[in-house]
Amino acid sequence: MDYDYKTGFITYPDAEPGSPGAKAPYIDHGTARIDPKRFYSAEEAALEWEHMWTKSWFFVGLAHDVAEVGDWFRADMGKESFIIVRNGSGDEGIAAYFNVCPHRGNRIVHSDFGSTGAGSCFQCDFHGWKFGLDGKNVDIRDEFIFRPEAVAHRPGLKQVRCEVWNSLVFISMVPDGKSLLEHLEIIPEHLAPYPFEKYKVIKDIETCWGANWKTSLDAFVEFYHADDVHPQVAPFTETVGCQYDLYANGNSRMLIPVGYVPLRYEDRDTVTEGLKAFLQFFGGNPDDYAHLKGHEYRSALAEVRRKWADRHGYAHFADLTDDQVNDDWNYYVFPNITLNVFSDALLIQAFRPHETDPRKSYYRAISLCLPVGGTQDMVMDPGQFGPDAVSEPGWDGSVRPEITHPETLEEFGSVLAQDAVRVPEIQKGIESAAFEGYVLSESESRIRHYLAEIDRMIGRG
């Protein structure tokens, strides 16, 4: 193939300059090897914590999970823990506090989700101190045993900045500075047509991996590995001709075309059985599109998926291009999440450092789909592919699944399991005396890009 590294692949050649699908200007981060110590050094982890994690906006959860006043969820990040609670209406009615009692440091909440009930409060389960949904101290048990000057300041929960974009909740430990929208920069404009509030959670998993958080993240910001790691998606998903875009603040994107015979295949005319099955999943009849060749099949899939959306009343499809209807628009929001955005599904993958060990990290995958209640249609978990990924008919998303902690690869789901088995092995190899550092292709440019942002924040870029 003809390839210019500064141009790369352009997924949508007809995209208007400045439009969401347009190629971003090239950013050259060079070709130097990446120092392996970045992926296991305690000193590096300490620098990241001091200069990056405590200074960044990072994803903590979904507004879906705090629907009513008093609803809360817990979010951990490194050595810290936070309570995110709804104390009012709208996005502004979601607040975040350190999950720390100011009396003796006890954690206030211990489970993943909960509710105080409207107008109620949090109560420390060590000495019974109570705190309102606004974080203020409302009761000190047996206050008379304290000297007045010890508690005159009425110590409450310490608040952190909390902002919401498209139902995704982010917090920052920095008391001032750029807003969340300033940090996201171009991403809200690109994803404006997608109503994430309508997508419902179908699966939510979290695990501790034997790998640095960056080792884990790196497996999900490039598709260079797809042919070897995810052979079941390769026959109808582009793996080599993906567009990679680098944006401000360490953010980035890759566009992964779906629904046709991709560039790597010699026979791009034959319509494969996998493509036909994909069409049928959304209610299409392959006989209606027998005139199309394999490399043209995207048009059939877009048409059938629009009819699917009409049947289920999802009006936002009218605001999507055919490319958006079909494809995987994969965004990385620095520093800790990737978003695989589909017209009918969303996969959020979150990465966070271990509290003490730089050779470990926490990985979370939240799969969301548009509900199809009242029909015989099914939805497919975007974190896996195949029969095991398919819901029961008429899945309505009304039951929010718990966060589960996989103990076997099968519990991850087929696609994510293929990454899960490799990430710890990569970490082992990175720490080998034989390994001199990453040698990266231009299809792995997103790795260099976010590392450059970490360097900038640390002060060495």
219 closest CA partner among 437, 12, 72, 424: 424
Domains and CATH numbers, the chain: 36-100+158-258+327-458 (3.90.380.10), 273-323 (no CATH)
Burial of 97 (0-12, 13-18, 19+ CB in 10 A): buried
Q: How far apart are CA 239 and CA 224, in angstroms?
A: 7
Q: Tens digits of per-residue pLDDT, 399-446?
A: 999 999 988 877 787 788 888 889 999 999 999 999 999 999 999 999
Task: Tell the residue number behind the tokens 């309508």, with chain if given.
Answer: 198
pLDDT-derived band at 12 (thresholds 50, 70, 90) equals very high
Buried b (16+ CB within 10 A) or exposed e, 352-371: bbbeeebbbbbbbbbbbbbb
pLDDT reported for residue 50: 98
Strands 130-132 and 94-98: unpaired
**pTM passes above 0.85:** yes
DSSP 8-state symbol, 13: T
Q: Tens digits of per-residue pLDDT, 350-388?
A: 999 999 999 999 999 999 999 999 999 999 999 887 667
Q: How far apart are CA 424 and CA 210, in angstroms?
A: 5
Averaged pLDDT score across all residues of the chain = 95
Pair 169, 86: CB distance under 8 Å: no
SS3 411: helix
In this structure, what are the phi and psi dihedrals at residue 321, rounded to the nearest 5 degrees? -70, 165
